[in-house]
Amino acid sequence: MLPEIPLADWVDSFVHWITIHFQTFFSSLTQIIETLLDNLVKVLGMAPSLVLILLITILAWYTSRWTMGLFSLLGLLLVDNLGLWDATINTLALVLASVALTVIIGIPLGIWASQNDKVKQIITPILDFMQTMPAFVYLIPAILFFGIGVVPGILASVIFAVPPTIRLTILGIREVPTELIEASNAFGSTTWQRLFKVQLPLAAPTILAGINQSIMLALSMVVIASLVGAPGLGAEVYRAVSQIKVGAGFEAGLSIVIIAIILDRISQNLRKPVYGKTISKKYVYGLFAALLVIPYLVTSFGGNTTEKISPNNVGEQVQYEITGIDPGAGLMTATAKAMKDYNLKDWKLKEGSSAAMTAELQKAYEQKQPIIVTGWTPHWMFAKYKLKYLKDPKESFGKSESIHTIVRKGFKEDNPNAYKILDSFYWNPTDMEEVMVDIQNGAKPEEAAKKWVVHHPDIVKKWTQGVQKGNGQKVSLVYVAWESEIASTNVIGSVLKNQGYNVTLKQVEAGPMFAGVANGSADAMVAAWFPTTHKDYLNTYKNQLVDLGPNLKGTKLGLVVPEYMPINSISDLENK
Amino acid sequence: MKSKVTVKNVTKIFGKSPKNAIKLLQKGYSKSEILKYTGATIGVNNASFEIYPGEIFVVMGLSGSGKSTLIRMLNRLIEPTGGQIFIDDEDIVKMNTQQLRDVRRKKISMVFQNFALFPHKTVLENAEYGLEIQNIRPEERKKRAQQSLEIVGLEGYENQYPSQLSGGMQQRVGLARALASDTDILLMDEAFSALDPLIRKDMQDELLELQETMKKTIIFITHDLDEALRIGDRIALMKDGSIIQIGSPEEIMINPANEYVERFIEDVDLSKVLMASHVQKRAERIMSDRGPRAALQIMRDQGYSSIFVVDRKQKLLGVITADDASNAIKENKTVEEAMQKEIVTVSEDTLLIHVIDALATSVLPVAVVDAEKRLKGVIIRGAVIGALAGNKENLNAKEVN
């Protein structure tokens, strides 16, 4: 048999190499984009929301009939009324920045490829790759290169959104009739004259259609970008999904729809505004540009008025940021509480995901840079890196937690033997970490779980003692994609399989995990963290669940830092 | 005369292995064989000719004969695979980009089959394009563009867009754009083919009229033989990339180089191409001071029923029939007294279509005379009919060459 090609290892070491060697480049790029974006957000949010709403309304009116103007006005007022205005500005800024980059990168590339067959041959398969590769995949290296926050979001959006602009630029220029190109050449045009006097003006409608597509794609990326901590409406949607808040999700989703329609119509009609004959478009766009650019220049060169209050070393080193995980997690609520308790009001808690958090941690750790993350035990990161919890004298994170096994109502009656196994499932943090480290080192979760089951027959025996073997009955387990849960669910899944059950594992977000067991679409989970992390969900679904008690005790939540950091307690972060 | 454009052994091969194709070409393989063996298409095969200043040189051939490729090599819109092209003694094939651009700007301009007007520019902006890219001052170029629009009769349409004009007007804009650059050489690639027949004829007339004053060197491409015969000073006929015959319209009509040309010209309306000189026969004549008996004798010997009367300088005076001569003998008159003076004449370059008119109105033979009224020949009905039927024996081919 052929040995498995270590493609993943190659990619890993390649990305690792880039991360190290282009560190300065990446951080300055991050810095630049972040500053630009911050300023853009500031400019958009400078005046009361009504001013921007009116400006957008006028632009929509001017480009796409009065009905569109009316829709914009009502739609944006609704968004404002729902309290989503700040998120909307963040989303707008993210989309505008992505589109600006898309245009800056896409049009010159498109022009180049339109003039040169070789370039086109090289670029086309790359574009195919970019468009079909799931957008999530871009986020992984993006986190390593640019950390979490808005920058990887923008870059992922650009990668995702740039193909239509490039493709349609190539198409638009190439479909200029040959005779016109010949005519232009026959009179002695230079390449540039031909490009600017003939090809680009004729290709403009097609190129603008490409940009319109790119805007729409960039907008569709905002939700995905929120997984790595990009703020805005996408984060609202993500939060709503992970907490099963239908109403909030609908509000944020509707806001995205409204923004999408407005951006789509405006960008479609930008070239030939409906009222372009009444008022020359030069004046309207000129005025609009001035309204954006002047305040922008004022904000970016007007001196930094935001002064940091204290010369707190650690705070400044980490830019007053704590790197968090998914917004729905109880750990995030606890951290927010801790920030209040310890008076960390200038600090920011960055939302992202657990994968994004560990990627950030890895990056900082390799460079011996300061970082503060929200952490929990059991987690493989404690085995891999030298980390420590910050002391929590005010007990904001509560005392240690335990992980509970929960099954749906009626499961005991339907499948008493599987129920018995789940009920007696109990192990220790060290057992769990054994599995987690294996997975982290590259083993597949099922393999790692099988291996653990084989190596610990005595523990497994305790769970299955006196239980009749199953007969292919279905058992579906749900879990969240935390390393600890992946380990435990796979282990118990493996045990159930050995006992003759037909086990399916489903990976979901925390909210859907509880909802799934509560409504009976899943049978059980071994991943409920009580009393803190998943407190909200338990309160919501209390009556529809059966809590079988803890399967692991001695977990811990808190703020985690690498050991090389010279602080020991959360109170060290306070301003003095 | 010194030539304006000289094309020497120019070849164009499309496809991937032109070198193999050239080898096969030199061995005498045909276009379709070469396509089969190498995948390369012969665009133009070893074309050589000269074009003189001020002439309208027409390149004619069916679709796929390589004429568009040939014309595009003259300003290197298509790179020749081999050969030389001299314009005013400079080989443009050897020129670098900059030199070539200068030639295109100053020496050669082009008119296209489907007009190739820039749809986003107005008529005036289109007309001044050639000047715009030479970075000529706006007032200056506007003035020159305006002038050439006036030449083609489009004043007043400056601010229209091409889509607002008819086909004929659009092609005038194309012509004005080419004229505005004021180049010596004008390439016209099937310039009138996209127009309807009436407008096409108008444009041909107008081009001929313009040429009277402009005296440019025009290289005109067409697949329409009538058009070629109408406007061409000389015609080059192409087939499968090769030039088969070059000559004046009459030469091609009268002396087709091979069967292909013969077939090509088969359907042409000969009455519009052939002239009196092509069908005239030697005319029997008699001096005016001779007697009627002599006239009658000649007629009897030759089997004619009439004979022309000339003076000592061969100037045509009239015609005498056998009946006239018999009466004159009885009445004892001279030939000059007995002859008929009302006589229908045509000149040597009268087209056959007008000769037929003359034949129809006269019962007497029609005489061919030159500008001094000297007798050159006679038109015989049978010869005209034979010539129109394409029968070469009725043509005075040798006298033409």
Identify the domain boundary among B236, B271, B306: B271
Residues 98-137 of B with CB under 8 A from A: 101-105, 108-110, 112-114, 116-120, 129-130, 132-134
> In whole angstroms, what is the distance from residue B87 CA to residue B52 CA?
11
pLDDT at B268 over 60: yes
Picking from B16, B71, B77 by the largest number of A CB atoms within 10 A of its own CB, the best residue to mutate is B77
Contact A186 B114 (CB under 8 A): no
Q: What is the C-alpha separation between A279 and A307, in angstroms, rounded?
A: 45
Structure tokens at B288: 């005016």
* Dist CA A21 CA A298 (whole Å): 36
Establish if B32 belongs to a structural domain.
no
Q: What is the pLDDT of residues A159-183, one digit of tens each?
A: 889 999 999 999 999 999 999 999 9
Amino acid present at A489 = T
Buried b (16+ CB within 10 A) or exposed e, A367-388: eeebbbbbbbbbbbbbebbebb
CATH at B376: 3.10.580.10
Q: In terms of domains, do B372 and B321 share one?
A: yes
pLDDT level of residue B132 (50, 70, 90 thresholds) = very high
With CA atoms as reference, report the closest residue to A558 among A379, A377, A429, A428.
A377
Task: Tell me: do B84 and B218 sit in the same domain.
Answer: yes
Domain identity same for B251 and B266: yes
Report all structural domains of chain A as residue ranges with CATH numbers, in order of start.
27-289 (1.10.3720.10), 322-398+563-573 (3.40.190.100), 401-555 (3.10.105.10)
Q: Give the nearest chain B residue to A193 (CA atoms).
A: B133
| Partner A, chain B 65-94, Cβ-Cβ below 8 Å | 72, 75, 77
Element (H, E) at B355: helix B352-361
Residue A262 has what pLDDT? 93
Report how many Cβ contacts below 8 Å link chain A to chain B: 57
Selection from A19-33, A141-155, B233-247, B257-271 with the highest mean pLDDT: B233-247
> Is B252 part of the contact surface with chain A (CB cutoff 8 Å)?
no
B6 within a domain of the structure (yes/no): no
Across the range B7-11, mean pLDDT stands at 91
pLDDT at residue A298 is higher than 90: no
Positive or negative: CA dihedral A545, A546, A552, A558: positive
CATH number of the domain at B56, please: 3.40.50.300
Residue A444 CB neighbour total at 10 angstroms: 11
What pLDDT sits at residue A301?
Answer: 66
**Structure-token match 């970019």, residue found:** A130
Q: What pLDDT is stored for residue A275 in this prediction?
A: 82
Asked whether the beta carbons of residue A186 and residue B118 sit closer than 8 angstroms, the reply is no
Element (H, E) at A553: strand A545-562
B159 and B296 share a domain? no
Across the range B207-225, mean pLDDT stands at 89
Q: Quote the CA–CA distance of A272 and A368 in Å, as a whole number.
A: 55
Find the domain containing B168 and state its range.
51-271
Taking residues A95-117, what's their average pLDDT? 92
Torsional sign, CA A64, A69, A71, A75:
positive
DSSP label at B282?
P
B77 and B221 co-located in one domain: yes
- Pair A567, A397: CB distance under 8 Å: no
Handedness of CA A11, A17, A20, A23 (dihedral sign): negative
Per the domain annotation, does B381 fall within a domain? yes
Reported as a single tens digit per residue, the pLDDT across A233-292 is 988 888 787 767 788 889 999 999 999 999 999 988 888 888 877 777 777 788 878 877
Predicted confidence band of residue B401 (pLDDT cuts 50, 70, 90): very low
| Residue B8 located in a structural domain | no
Whether residue B308 sits in one domain with residue B198: no
What's the pLDDT score for residue A302?
56
Beta strands in B223-365 (DSSP E): 234-239, 242-247, 285-287, 306-310, 316-321, 345-347
Average pLDDT, chain B: 86
| Residue at a domain's end among B271, B287, B321 | B271
Band of the pLDDT at B302, cuts 50, 70, 90? confident
The answer to whether B16 faces chain A, any CB pair under 8 Å, is no
Residues B197 and B226 reside in one and the same domain: yes
Count of the separate structural domains present in chain B: 2
- Helix, strand, coil percentages in chain B from 3-state DSSP, rounded to 5: 45, 25, 35
Same domain, B167 and B227: yes
Distance in angstroms (rounded) separating the CA atoms of residues A95 and A157: 8
Structure tokens, A520: 């009976």
- Quick check: A323 and A552 in contact, CB under 8 A? no
Q: Is the pLDDT of residue A308 over 80?
A: no
Q: C-alpha angle A135/A141/A147, rounded to 5°?
A: 110
pLDDT value at residue A307: 45
Within-domain flag for B280: yes
Residue B91 has phi, psi (to 5 degrees) of -80, 110
| Prior bond of A378 cis (ω within 30°) | yes
- What are the CA-CA distances from residue B233 to residues A480, B57, B230 (Å)? 88, 6, 9
Residue B163: pLDDT over 90: yes
Does B120 contact A201 at a Cβ distance shorter than 8 Å?
yes
Report the chain A residue with the minimal C-alpha distance to residue B97.
A190
Residue A575 pLDDT class (50, 70, 90 cuts): low
Pair (B266, B284) in one structural domain:
no
Residue B51: in which H helix or E strand, if any? strand B41-51
Out of A186, A198, A202, the one facing B77 most closely (by C-beta) is: A186
Q: Which helix (H) or strand (E) holds B379?
A: strand B375-379
Q: For strand A545-562 and strand B41-51, is the pairing parallel, antiparallel, or unpaired?
A: unpaired
Contacts of B145 (CB under 8 A, 6+ apart): B124, B127, B128, B131, B176, B177, B180
Q: Are B118 and A179 within 8 A, CB to CB?
A: no
Sign of CA dihedral A328, A330, A333, A339: negative
Residues B177 and B213 in one domain: yes
A576 has a pLDDT exceeding 60: no
Adjacency order of strands within the sheet including B41-51: B41-51, B5-14, B82-87, B90-91
Q: Which tokens in the block code for residue B246?
A: 């070059």
Q: Does residue B34 fall inside a structural domain? A: no
As a whole number of angstroms, the distance between CA A9 and CA B41 comes to 51
B345-388 pLDDT tens trace? 888 888 888 888 888 888 788 888 888 888 888 888 888 888 77
A180 chain-B contacts, CB cut-off 8 A: 116, 118
- The per-residue pLDDT for A243 is 67
Interchain CB distance below 8 Å, A188 and B120: no
Q: What is the mean pLDDT of residues B24-49?
A: 85
SS3 A408: strand
Instruction: Quote ipTM for the complex.
Output: 0.75
> How confident is the model at residue B32, as a pLDDT?
82
Residue B370 lies in a domain: yes
DSSP line for A256-267: HHHHHHHHHHHH
Query: What is the pLDDT at residue A220?
Result: 87
Cis peptide before A531 (omega within 30 of 0): yes
Q: Which residues of A touch B177 (CB under 8 A)?
A: 187
Same domain, B247 and B293: no
- Tell me the percentage of chain B whose pLDDT exceeds 90: 32
Q: Point out the residue among B101, B112, B120 whose CB comes nearest to the CB of A188.
A: B101
In the three-class reduction of DSSP (H, G, I as helix; E, B as strand; rest coil), residue B12 is classed as strand
pLDDT for residue B400: 39
Whether pLDDT at A203 is above 90: yes
Specify the pLDDT at position A176: 93
Last residue of a domain, one of B239, B271, B303: B271
Classify A215 as helix, strand or coil. helix
Residues contacting residue A530 through CB under 8 Å, at least 6 positions apart: A401, A402, A403, A404, A538, A550
